[in-house]
Amino acid sequence: MPEKETLERAQEDAREGKSPSTQAGEFVREEIHHVREGKHGVKSTKQAIAIGLSKARRAGVKLQAPREGTTSEKTRQQAVRESRRAKNSPKPSRKRSAATLAALKKEGHSAASKKALSAEARGASSRRSASARHQSAMKAVRTKRKEGRMAASQKSTRARRAA
């Protein structure tokens, strides 16, 4: 079950008209924090992201299932089930939840490190085309608002001075 704060942040994103992937980002963020806190581990950064997206779908975020060819058919079907489950949520199995947590507790925590997350982001970016990366950058500029643009400008200035 996601934390109350995470649900509130995701709902706020939804009210502000932000995309489902932005709303889901709150759940992914929470999952990364759980791994860092030592609540449980994960095999890879991708697994931590997948757990966060799964929680987002179950919480009612209107995320689409992964496109065909990007993941296995089994994973796609699971994503569809989770989206459906959000509408009429049955109580989760206690035995299954306990078994999942026990398995995750045996995994490592390095997958949530800054280095691992950075490598995952770079890998995801390199799999996208230049035009797709450009489009998302342009959308970020449009949706950042004045305060966000100013903060980004100040950050880049600090980075240039540090280099």
Q: Of residues 70 and 112, which shows the higher confidence score?
A: 112
> CA-based angle 58:60:64, to the nearest 5?
85
Domain boundaries, the chain: 4-127, 129-163
Decide: helix, strand or coil at residue 71.
Answer: strand
Distance CA 131, CA 83 (A): 30
- pLDDT tens, position by position, 57-75: 988 899 888 888 778 888 8
- What's the pLDDT at 157? 93
Distances (CA, A) of 25 to 21, 80, 93: 6, 19, 26
- What's the pLDDT at 91? 76
Spatial contact of 51 and 31, defined as CB atoms under 8 Å apart? yes
Which of the four pLDDT bands, split at 50, 70 and 90, describes residue 163? confident
Name the burial class of residue 95, with classes exposed (0-12), middle (13-18) and buried (19+) by CB atoms within 10 angstroms of its CB: exposed
Give me 61's structure tokens.
Answer: 């975020």
Nearest to 44 by CA among 122, 126, 100, 110: 110
Q: What is the pTM of this model?
A: 0.78
